[in-house]
Amino acid sequence: MAPSSPEGNSQPRRKIRSFVRREGRLTAGQARALQDFWPDYGIDYFASPLDLDACFGRRAPRVLDIGCGMGETTLALAARHPENDYLGVEVHRPGVGRLLRGARERDLRNLRVICHDAVEVIRHQLPDNSLDEVFILFPDPWPKKKHHKRRLVSAAFLASLLPKMKDHARLYLATDWEDLAGHLLETCDACPGLMNLAGRGRFAPRPRWRPLTKFEERGRQLGHVVYDLIYCLKASYKSQATSHK
């Protein structure tokens, strides 16, 4: 039962989500992958910090892929860089199923996935100072102005994410929506803990290492401009945050 509001009679306020579960049909192969491969690659959500060394069976640079979709980027980079560990977070089960199947087909040992809201995973499940890189690639743009409050990246979101990043960790973002690109640039440039590596107010060149996914290729064919942003966590951020506690 949902807790009642302080007033007693009114309904509790609904939490604003940055996603809607538009899953569609789960294919037989995706369902089978979720059942068969989750024990090897899946991490259940719980509201206490993970031991990532135990999850991956080693200590290595850690990359968080938020909203990894069907897993094209995560799978390609995990295969290309076995020296890194990749943690994908995705709420849509068909995408998770395809990612699990791809991980098994490639016999990847450096990939794990959590099927849950990234905001809650970051806030409750990821330990502080654990991430070397973070990807937020092509998040839901929520183009209607009345829905802008649902956009994932906000000052509050960054305040939760930055403590999870190591000093000098990188944050990579990309979108093919011009309005969202401006929002990301403004929000991240205004964050005191982040430094825009392309220069304040500027977008970055497309990183050569970032795989070209089917989604991005389709957008390019339609004439969409892709905007990349790259930020570094300032070394002074952690000391300043500690001194203000």
> Which residues are within 8 A (CB) of 194 and not within 5 positions of it... i.e. 6 or more apart?
158, 162, 171, 188, 231, 232, 233, 234
Q: Which of 140, 167, 179, 228 is catalytic?
A: 140
Whether residue 140 lies in the annotated active site: yes
Of 51, 26, 35, nearest to 104 by C-alpha is 35
Q: Are 98 and 23 in contact (CB under 8 A)?
A: no
What is the length of the chain? 245
Query: Residue 130's closest CA among 71, 85, 68?
Result: 85
The tokens for 7 are: 């007033």
User: What residues are annotated to the active site?
Assistant: 140
